[in-house]
Structure 1
Amino acid sequence: MNIIPYHELRKISPEKARELIRKVFEANNKNISKTAKILGVSRHTVRRAVYGPVEDKSRKPKTCPKKLSSELENLIIQEAKKTGFRYRRLSLYLFRKYGVKISENTIKSILKRNSVPRKTRKTKKGERSLYDYESLIPFSEFQLDTKHLLDKESLPKEVYEHMIKYNLPCYEWNMIDVATRTRFTAYSYELSSTFGFMFITLVVLWLRTHNVRNPIRIRLDNGAEFCGGSEKKLKEWNEMLSFLGVELNPIPPKAKHLMGIIENSHRADDEYFLMIHAERCITKDEFMTRAQKWQDTWNFYRPHNGKGMNGRTPFEKFRDSKILVSSHVFQFPTLLLEDLLKKVGTFYSLFCNKLGGKYVFTTCHLQDCLYLHETYNSINKYNY
């Protein structure tokens, strides 16, 4: 009888190989030893093929003490689909939100095994740097922008519903120093040019109070909360702010890539602050307290790997620059602009009427403007 060797047939099909054993077994009066000798296999293999199933048995271990529970694995899959994070960022996210520390390799295996799709982003290569980062003086170049917290695109649906239910602030105002990545933040319920001018003046007064003496150049977009593309308003604002050594520099239309640094910081707000902490706040004060802690974490503890940073925190980059600026500049209080408006007005009162064709700055309200450091001193719980 012309028989294909068992081991060669098994490489093709394990089921066919066991059927062959059964045929030879029946042809030899069900003699296990003779069947094993003919096919060149062990008697155990013959018994397995004759009395067991034709298919291969599962090689899955019966016990796996180190395997994650199904509940935890489902949580990883759920958060991966909701956030779009991959294994590295998802590992940090789970630790920050739930206090669960899971290996990146474990998360990577789970995502691969469950075929969780990854979000792709188009990037342009070969572009020039926006600044000469190595030669920048700290607190000389800034980017200014606002973030709509309820844009309903960046965060999970339940976060938006929670923020609307408890009437948390709707807008975030950010100014970021390009050289050190230091951020100055405020919040509001409305978006208007009044708040835009207030926020710019507030940050600049804070910088000047802490011995920042160099000219300040602020890059901003053409939103209605700033100059809104109006040459007249831009000229007026620049005239008023020129006394403080400030120049506003709007970007051209549709050139959002020029605001890349602050846009990236907004993405970090979504991933490390709003996604995790917004649902834990049920009052405005709780939200502002957590916002203050997030800004302090950003400025003092969060390392940055962008150009010119080399893994340093903003405070470490500032310290390495050895400029004669007070380190308390990093303790900028995170404020609600509506509260500030009730206390000191629109900040236009700081600028008197034109004298001789120029705006004149008055310091009569300067102490009122800087009251906020004492008012919100309870928020600043850290001593640096």
Structure 2
Amino acid sequence: MAEDITDVVENVTTHMDLLRFATAGSVDDGKSTLIGRLLLDSKSIFEDQLEAVETTSKGKGYDYTDLALLTDGLRSEREQGITIDVAYRYFATPKRKFIIADTPGHVQYTRNMVTGASTADLGLVLVDARQGLTEQSRRHAVILSLLRVPHLVLAVNKMDLVDYSEEVFTKIHDEFTQFATKLSIPDLTVIPISALAGDNVVNRSEAMSWYSGPTLLHHLENVHVASDRDLIDARFPVQYVVRPKSDEFHDYRGYAGQVAGGVMKPGDEVVVLPSGMTSKIAGIDLFDQEITEAYPPMSVTVRLEDDVDVSRGDMIARVKNAPSPSQDIDAMVCWMTTTPLKNRQKLAIKHTTRTARAMVKDIQYRLDVNTLHRDQEAGELGVNEIGRVQLRTTVPLLSDSYSKNRTTGSFILIDEGTGVTVGAGMIL
């Protein structure tokens, strides 16, 4: 079994050339400028885009190109000079493809930051070298820790404004490292940079010869993320039943979805939940070809040897390693709407591909993400607040803890009247 997992990790590493990372930090720490610098120096910007940014920068009277304009796309963002919504940007190098989520720094946009970081493999927290660690820097580190983002980079930005001082960098490095010991951060890297000047972003800085670590892009290209996924506990939420209406595939019956955990191979004995019916995997199809194994985050179609009753919302798992169905959910919830979350409130809940109704049994405490204080007297959660909530669902959910599997351990809460997503949860 151990050899099988090792082979799969190597296989995932070979094909897994995508890194999702989210930026976070205080307002004006230079998140959007840093992303602009990454795009510019990695040759990922078209000439007309750069010309438009240069023209806009000159129109504002800048004596430099405002790289933040490459990501701050909303008019209100450009007018205020802040990031409001999550801006997604895509670029690639010969080693890896990247999806960047540029998240806001303001307290009132915490929900946007949670949205952008929820699928990230790596969190990039920026601090201004002149300001040091701020309340917002700590808050975003806490949120990234709650979201179980496995890799964290602290980028000490604007080193050019403190004369590239090693002493300033060391002070921030030591202070943040000590703070991180209170959090669940498996992998922490600290890099001194200047996004505006380009020091240690893509190219190594000659002004900081005292720093011997990697540049930011080198670290992003080489950080190992394949083993972060659960390759032991097989989880396959069924999204769609495939029954082609053609004579050629008259007897074809497959179950399409995205592998949420573990490794699945033809011949594996599996159980379909919640019915409990067992069968074996007859084959796994990827597009128009049959493959020998499937692992996260592949989207595939699974065929079973027996005609068991399987529909959307069901889950295929290993017979001796299946999640226990439960209607009682204990979770950390980030509330995302101005109408507060209260006890006895009824909502719709979407977990993997299954949708049900839920009622709030108890709000145990509200978490102060700045101090980690638990307010057990809180009777409700307001917009952008995070707290521990107990829910009761109308049907059992097939879940794992969020620390074990970020896909089967998460859910969203939906207002039944409007259909709007009002909360995001991480199962404890």
TM-score range, shorter chain: under 0.3
Higher helix share: 1
Give the number of the structure whose residues are more often strand, by fraction.
Answer: 2
TM-score (norm 2): 0.26
Bigger relative contact order, structure 1 or 2 (CA pairs below 8 A, ≥6 apart): 1
